[in-house]
A and B are shown apart, each in its own frame.
Chain A
Amino acid sequence: MVSLVENERALSPESDPMLPSRYQVRRVRRENADTFTMELAASDQSGSVLFAPGQFNMLYVFGVGEAPISICGKTRNGLEHTTRTVGTVTSSLGRLRRGDVVGVRGPYGSCWPLAEAAGRDVVLVAGGIGLAPLRSALQTIVAQRPLRHRVTLIYGVRTAEDMLYLQELERLRDRGLQLYVTVNRATGSWRGNVGVVTSLIPRVPFDPLNCVAMVCGPELMMRFSMEELIKRGVPEQRIFLSLERNMKCAVGFCGHCQFGPEFLCKDGPIFRCDRIRRWLNIAEL
Chain B
Amino acid sequence: MQDLETIVVHHPFWQNLHQRYSHFLGECAGTQHFAPQQQIFQTGCEADHFYLIERGRVALETPFIPGKGVMIIQTLEAGEALGWSWLFPPFVWHFGARAIQPTDLVVLDARFLRQKASEDHEFGYELAMRVGNVMLQRLQATRLQLLDYGQPR
Contact = CB atoms under 8 A, between A and B. Distances in A.
B144 to A, nearest CB: 4
A19 B147 CA distance: 39
A186 B145 contact: no
B150 A194 contact: no
Contacts of B73: 194
Contacts of B6: none
B74 A195 contact: yes
- Of the four ranges (under 10, 10 to 19, 20 to 34, 35 or more), the interface on chain B belongs to 20 to 34
Interface stretch (A23-31, A106-114, A171-179, A196-204): A196-204
A259 to B, nearest CB: 15
Listed residue (A128, A162, A190, A216) with the most chain B CB atoms within 10 angstroms of its CB: A128
B148 to A, nearest CB: 6
Nearest to A224: B144
A128 B144 contact: no
A184 B72 contact: no
Contacts of A193: 57, 75, 77
A197 to B, nearest CB: 8
B100 interface: yes
A218 B145 CA distance: 13
B59 interface: yes
A86 interface: yes
A218 B141 contact: no
Given A195-B141, A198-B141, A220-B144, A128 B74 contact: no
B64 interface: no
Interface of B: 57, 59, 71-75, 77, 79, 100-101, 137, 140-141, 144-145, 147-153
